[in-house]
């Protein structure tokens, strides 16, 4: 890795003319650390330098995004900047050094940063990115896979609702509705990677073949039929919509199903559900409904005459 470019121009630049990075390396910042940095700037001044690249009359931050935000919150008007005319490999080195010295990047921040480097230097591939950031190719590719995976899973990972292992396992489920249901379960129940791995294995061996109209995959050496639970279908209404509104109930299926199945006969054919009439008008309306359903009741029965 080469050193920093020689003799960057040191200049005081108004914060009003400084823009955030096109793709910031950090998706989240620690509020407490940010407050501490703002307090430090107000107490002792801005004892640092931003690294920027000029874009027309404005400057775009390459390194120091967090400090530029803190400087604005502290009420500064101008800040010292190392100014470059173009982005370069040297600026990547500066950004790498900056990020390793400051608040640790999250895995989602790393994914965004590595994707940015891949777009800027595609000729080097993941090996080139790994060399620039001092990581193994495996780490770089794993982070890029997170960014290329499900947007909802990535957002949950960025907000610390799930960990990286859970996110990686969820992305192995390629059916959107089922993956979203598993994500909801993982967030609400604090699932471990091992548990999510078991969920995805069940989806792959039972639910995926069932949705394609194929027989479930039976593990070698197993005996007897495999019980298929259609988790994507509500047992009451029979619909598959709104998977995120499903609730997990801690009850044996053989205890729950008799209760549900005995009541769904009233719920599913909603038009056949009849309330006992409370008024004469309700009774007349019910008689009319019954007569419309069974018109033969309108005919006089000779046996009753």
Q: Could you read off the pLDDT of 36-50 as tens digits, one per residue?
A: 889 888 887 887 777
What integer best gives the mean pLDDT of the chain? 75
162 pLDDT higher than 90: yes
| pLDDT for 28 | 60
214 pLDDT higher than 80: no
User: Worst-scoring range by mean pLDDT, 159-168, 173-182, 188-197, 213-222?
Assistant: 213-222
Which range, 146-150, 245-249, 291-295, has the best average confidence (pLDDT)? Answer: 146-150
Confidence of residue 113 (pLDDT cuts 50, 70, 90): confident
User: Worst-scoring range by mean pLDDT, 8-22, 108-122, 161-175, 192-206?
Assistant: 108-122
Six token digits for residue 26: 């950090």
Hey, what CATH class is 1-104 in?
Answer: alpha beta
| pLDDT for 152 | 87
Confidence of residue 206 (pLDDT cuts 50, 70, 90): confident
pTM of the model: 0.48
Which range, 2-16, 46-60, 64-78, has the best average confidence (pLDDT)? Answer: 64-78
Tell me the domain boundaries of the chain. Answer: 1-104, 105-148, 151-268, 269-300
In this predicted model, which residue has the larger pLDDT, 82 or 263?
A: 82
| pLDDT for 54 | 83
101 pLDDT higher than 50: no
| pLDDT for 107 | 84
96 pLDDT higher than 80: no
The pLDDT of 274-287, averaged and rounded, is 83
Confidence of residue 227 (pLDDT cuts 50, 70, 90): very low
């Amino acid at each position: 890795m080469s050193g920093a470019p020689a003799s960057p121009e040191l200049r005081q630049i108004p914060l009003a003319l400084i823009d955030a990075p096109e793709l910031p390396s950090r998706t989240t910042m620690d509020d407490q650390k940010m407050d501490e940095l703002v307090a430090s700037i107000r107490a002792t001044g801005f004892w640092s330098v931003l690294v920027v690249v000029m874009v027309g009359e404005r400057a775009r931050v390459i390194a120091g995004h967090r400090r530029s935000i803190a400087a604005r919150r502290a009420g500064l008007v101008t800040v010292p900047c190392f100014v470059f005319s173009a982005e370069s490999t040297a600026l990547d080195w500066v950004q790498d050094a900056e990020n390793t010295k400051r608040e640790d990047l999250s895995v989602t921040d790393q994914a965004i940063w590595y994707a940015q480097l891949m777009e800027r230097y595609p000729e080097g591939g993941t090996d080139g990115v790994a060399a620039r950031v001092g990581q193994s190719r495996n780490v770089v590719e794993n982070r890029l896979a997170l960014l290329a995976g499900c947007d909802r899973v990535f957002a949950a990972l960025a907000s610390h609702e799930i960990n990286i292992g859970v996110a990686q396992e969820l992305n192995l489920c390629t059916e959107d509705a089922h993956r979203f249901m598993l994500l909801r379960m993982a967030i609400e129940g604090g699932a471990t990677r091992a548990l999510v791995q078991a969920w995805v294995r069940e989806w792959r061996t039972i639910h995926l073949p069932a949705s394609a109209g194929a027989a479930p995959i039976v593990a070698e050496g197993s005996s007897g039929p495999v019980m298929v639970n259609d988790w994507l279908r509500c047992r009451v209404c029979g619909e598959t919509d709104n998977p995120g509104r499903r609730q997990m109930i801690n009850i044996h299926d053989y205890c729950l199903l008799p209760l549900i199945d005995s009541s769904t006969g009233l719920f599913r054919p909603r038009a056949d559900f009849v309330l006992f009439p409370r008024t004469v008008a309700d009774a007349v309306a019910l008689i009319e409904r019954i007569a419309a359903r069974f018109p033969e009741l309108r005919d006089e029965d000779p046996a009753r005459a």
